[in-house]
Amino acid sequence: MKLLVTGGAGFIGSNFVRYWLAKYPGDYVVNFDVLTYSGNLENLAEIQNNPRYSFIKGDLRNMADVEAAMSGVDIVVHFAAETHVDRSLFAAGDFITSNILGTQILCEAAAKHHVTRFHYISTDEVYGELPLNSTQKFTQDTPFDPRNQYSASKASAEHFVRAYYHTHHLPITITNCTNNFGPYQHPEKFIPLFITNLLQGKKVPIYGDGLNIRDWLYVVDHCRAVDLVIRKGVIGKSYLVGAQHKEISNLELTHKLLKLLGKDDSSIEFVTDRPAHDHRYAVDWSKIAALGWQPEHDLDTWLAATVDWYKTHRDWWQRVKSGDYLKYYDRVYGHRS
Ligand code: DAU
């Protein structure tokens, strides 16, 4: 089997490439990535010479690049996206071209090449937000209600993926996953930002009152979910993927990180809230559970493992947190404190 993984140099994509090569010794993986600020081939350094792996630097917005990569491909797994909400507020155009146009071009090429599966990595954010202090959860039937430029672009792309299923019989499946954490996550995101700031002796910027709730899934569990849906999912359907029903507030999560890093509340800085900050995400993942999936990695153990990973990979994140990152940090946080 030959897989085309888009965005394979990113956080979840690189974890998925490693996972797939280890699990399926007969398969070949092509990593297609344009290498923007969040795509980093260092994430895959240990497999770069694997004869079952190859890398193509290409842009999803360019049909010629995509067509060239599609040759002989059986399965497309589409991770590539602009993913950071804060960036989407000031760079919406990049989210429209990469996430929507890029997805449409990929669908077009995949349909033309008659791939046997096109799996789209979506997000629970397409469903909007849930109230705090409620037990409601998103399901596959929850109407889309994206509330920021990132989630609007992912929702739009998801509509295009379904349109190609209906009009071109593209054999699609979709997963809508909750927040991920683990090794190689870019330090613009909450968990790696807070870990690395604390390792640098800096404060951690909590948006608003810190009471917003997320449900954190270890990245390998997400890879397992995508794998299962590719093997056993029903064509044309989407599957919600969530964690172990232990939703916690950003403040509670911060306290866990402070404890793991030997710091106290004096390292916290409450800053101006993110505009339209979604209050709570929670997903009902019973549909994928019926296929035989459940999370295997608990938050406490794997958060500690993730902290250890950032402690032992200082070179990786110090390189990432330099150059343009510093300009980004100033732009997002400069006016918040
Ligand atoms: O739910 C899945 C989504 O999770 C993915 O589709 C997105 O690509 C991913 O970015 C993530 O979205 P969030 O906005 O939830 O993730 P982020 O790590 O940016 O923020 C997590 C929470 O922490 C959120 O409530 C905002 C808050 N936060 C974040 C940052 C970066 C802070 O309080 N301070 C911060 O500096």
User: Is residue 123 within 6 Å of ligand 1 at its C-beta?
Assistant: yes
Residue 292 clears pLDDT 80, i.e. is over it: yes
Separation of 214 CA from ligand 1 center, angstroms? 8
What DSSP designation does 98 have? I
pLDDT of residue 263: 98
The tokens of 175 are what? 């997963």
Given a contact cutoff of 8 angstroms between Cβ atoms, the answer to whether 113 and 170 are in contact is no
Q: Mind listing the pLDDT tens digit for each residue in 111-143?
A: 999 999 999 999 999 999 999 989 999 999 999
Helices (H), 91-130: 92-95, 102-112
d(CA 35, CA 33): 5
- What is the spatial distance between Cα 41 and Cα 39, in angstroms, rounded to a whole number? 7
Q: Determine whether the shortest distance from the Cβ of 178 to ligand 1 is under 6 A.
A: yes
For ligand 1, say whether the CB of 125 is within 6 Å of any of its atoms.
yes
What would the pLDDT profile of 89-110 be if each residue is shown by its tens digit? Answer: 999 999 999 999 999 999 999 9
Give the residue, by CA position, lying nearest to ligand 1 atom 22: 190
Separation of CA 96 and ligand 1 centre (Å): 19
Longest distance between any two alpha carbons in the chain, whole Å: 57
For the annotated catalytic residues, the residue numbers are 124-125, 150
Q: To the nearest whole number, what is the mean pLDDT of the chain?
A: 97
Rounded-to-5 percentages of helix, strand, coil across the chain: 45, 15, 40
Of 212, 284, 278, the C-alpha closest to 241 is 284
Is the model's pLDDT at 337 over the cut of 80? Answer: no
Sign of CA dihedral 239, 241, 244, 250: negative
Q: How far apart are CA 337 and CA 325, in angstroms?
A: 18
Name the percent of the chain lying above pLDDT 90.
95
d(CA 204, CA 63): 42
Give the separation between CA 81 and CA 3, rounded to whole angstroms.
Answer: 18
From the CB of 214, is ligand 1 less than 6 Å away? yes
Q: Which two tokens stand for residue 18?
A: 């490693």
245 pLDDT exceeds 80? Answer: no
User: All domains of the chain, ordered by start, with CATH?
Assistant: 2-180+216-241 (3.40.50.720), 187-214+247-278+298-333 (3.90.25.10)
CB-based contact 220:294 (threshold 8 Å): no
Predicted pLDDT of residue 212: 98
Q: How confident is the model at residue 323 (pLDDT cuts 50, 70, 90)?
A: confident
For 334, residues 6+ apart whose C-beta sits below 8 A from its C-beta are: none
For residue 288, how far is its CA from the centre of ligand 1 (angstroms)? 24
153 lines ligand 1 (CB under 6 A): no
Q: Is the pLDDT of residue 247 over 90?
A: no
Neighbours of 264 (CB within 10 A): 9
Nearest CA to ligand 1 atom 4: 179
pTM (two decimals): 0.97
For residue 260, give every residue at least 6 positions away whose Cβ sits within 8 Å of its Cβ, in sequence order, or none: 303, 304, 307
pLDDT of residue 335: 81
3-state secondary structure string, 199-246?
HCCCCEEEECCCCCEECCEEHHHHHHHHHHHHHHCCCCCEEEECCCCC
